[in-house]
Amino acid sequence: MNRFLGKATLLAGAITAALALSSTALAADVELLPNGLMTPSSTEQTKPDQFKKAPPWRIGVSFGGVGNTWIVQMIQEMKYEASLHKEIGEFIFVEANWQPAKQVSDVEDLLTKKVDAIIIGPISAGVGAPLSEKALKAGIPVVVFGAFGKAMQSTTEIGAGGEVFGRQGGEFLRKELNGKGNVWAFRGVAGVDEETLRYEGFKKAIAGSDIKITNEVFGDWGYAKGKQLCENLVLSGNPVDGIWFSGAEMTRACLDVFKESGKALVPMTGEGNNGFFRAWKQTGVKSVAPIFTPGLGVATVRAAVALLEGKPVYKSYFSAPPPVLQGDLDKVYRPDLNDAYWVPSTLPEAKLKEMFHR
C-alpha cells in the first residue's frame, strides 16, 4: 500500500511538474519583443485560457497623449501589428491630449463599447488606477503601458525607460564631468509618471557628486518647445557644463541652438532617434543614447492577443537594453531614413522605407 501511495505521489508530482513546465513554456512562447529587448520582470503568470475568447475581437487603446514623433511611430507600429492579426475585428486607438479628464472619458467610452481587451497608457497611476480597476471588475483583461507596479492593477504590465533611462544619462554626465559642474535638465511633460521617473533616475545617478542642477525646464519632449527653452537659457548667459535630456527631440533642438549661436558644445544626453544620431555624428558632441523602443506599443498588442488566445503571460515585463555609445553610432544610424525614425523598430524594412524615406 505504501509503495503504491509512493508511486501515486511520484506520478502526481510528475504531472504537476509537467503542467507547470507546460504553462511556463506557453508564457515563454509569447514573444513580445525580439532580440532580448524585453524580459519578464515577475514569475507570476495568468492561467491558461483565463481570458480566452472566440474572435473577432475588439481591442481598445487609451493613451495619455501624442505630441512627438516617438509616439507617432509607436502608434503606427501598434496599428501595423494589429493589422497582422485577422482575429482582431476592431482596433480602437484614442489619445487624451495629456488631459486626465479626457482619459477618464476615453476609457469609459471604450468600456461601453464592450472591448474584449483594453490597453491603457495612463498619464499617471493616479489617473489610470481606477480605470484599470473598473475594467478588471468587468472581466476585461487590462494591459498597462508603463512601469507602475502595485500603484496600478493590471492583467499584465509592459514597462521600460523610467529610472533606468534617467540613470543611464546621469551616469554618463557624472563620468564626463568628473563628478562636478553645472548642468541643465530638460524634462518632458509635467505630471506624467514616466517623466518623473526619468528625472528621479537622473538625480539618483548624480547624488553624492558635486554636480549641480542649475536650471530645470519642461520641454514636453518636443523639438519646438525644447529649442525655445534652450535659446532662452543660452541667451541668459548661465554657465553650463553638461545637459541632461528626458527625450532626444529636445537634445536635437539644443544642438541646433548651440550651432546657430556659436556656443561651444558640452556633453548632452540623447536617445535612440535617427535625427539625434545624425546630429550626434555631424557635431561630434559627447553623448549617450538610452533606448526607449517604439516597439513597446507592439508588445502591448501582442500581450492582448496572447491573453485572448488563452495563452499565459507574465504579470509584468520590462525593456532595459544597454544605451547606444559613441562606438555604436555607425551601427544604428540610418542615413537613408529621416529624422523621425526611432530605434529599434518592429516594422519590416519595406514599411520603414515607406514611412521614413528622406
How many separate domains does the chain show?
Answer: 2
User: Which amino acid is it at 89?
Assistant: G
Instruction: Compute the half-sphere exposure of residue 199: CA atoms within 13 Å on the CB side of its CA.
Output: 19
Within-domain flag for 308: yes
Residue 310 has which C-alpha cell? 488563452
DSSP 357: B
Within-domain flag for 54: yes
161-197: string of b/e by CB count within 10 Å (b at 16+)?
bbbbbbbbbbbbbbebbeeebbbbbbbbbeebbbbbb
Domain that holds residue 120: 31-160+293-321
Please tell me the pTM assigned to this model.
0.85
CA-nearest of 150, 152, 104, 102 to 132 is 152
Strand extents, DSSP E, the chain: 39-40, 57-63, 88-95, 117-121, 142-145, 156-160, 180-187, 210-218, 242-245, 316-319
In the block, cell 528625472 appears at 199
Quote the Cα angle for 321-326-327, to 5°.
Answer: 85
CA–CA dist 94, 102 (Å, integer): 10
Q: How far is CA 275 from the centre of its chain?
A: 19
Strands 316-319 and 39-40: antiparallel
Q: What is the CATH classification number for the domain harbouring 216?
A: 3.40.50.2300
249 contacts 226 by C-beta, under 8 angstroms: yes
* In a shared domain, residues 277 and 202: yes
* In a shared domain, residues 314 and 251: no
Look at residue 335 and give its three-state secondary structure.
Answer: coil
Residue 89 has which C-alpha cell? 475585428
352 contacts 341 by C-beta, under 8 angstroms: yes
User: Which of 256, 283, 310 finishes a domain?
Assistant: 283
172 Cβ contact partners less than 8 Å away, ≥ 6 residues apart: 267, 269, 287, 288, 323
Within-domain flag for 288: no
* In a shared domain, residues 250 and 104: no
State residue 27's pLDDT score.
Answer: 57
Output the tens digit of pLDDT for each of the chain's 358 residues: 343 334 344 444 443 444 344 444 455 578 999 877 999 999 999 999 999 999 999 999 999 999 788 999 999 999 999 999 999 999 999 999 999 999 999 999 999 999 999 999 999 999 999 999 999 999 999 999 998 888 999 999 999 989 999 999 999 999 999 999 999 999 999 988 889 999 999 999 999 999 999 999 999 999 999 999 999 999 999 999 999 999 999 999 999 999 999 999 999 999 999 999 999 999 999 999 999 999 999 999 999 999 999 999 999 999 999 999 999 999 999 999 999 999 999 999 999 999 999 8
Within-domain flag for 122: yes
User: Which of 283, 303, 333 finishes a domain?
Assistant: 283
State residue 324's pLDDT score.
Answer: 96
R_g of the chain computed on alpha carbons: 23
Instruction: Residue 15: count other Cβ atoms within 10 Å of its Cβ.
Output: 10
In the block, cell 487624451 appears at 96
Within-domain flag for 95: yes
Q: What is the 3-state secondary structure (H, E, C) of 123-137?
A: CCHHHHHHHHHHHHH
Q: Number of helices (H) and strands (E), helices first, in the chain? A: 12, 10
- Mind giving me the DSSP string for 226-279? HHHHHHHHHHHT---SEEEESSHHHHHHHHHHHHHHTPPP--B---SBHHHHHH
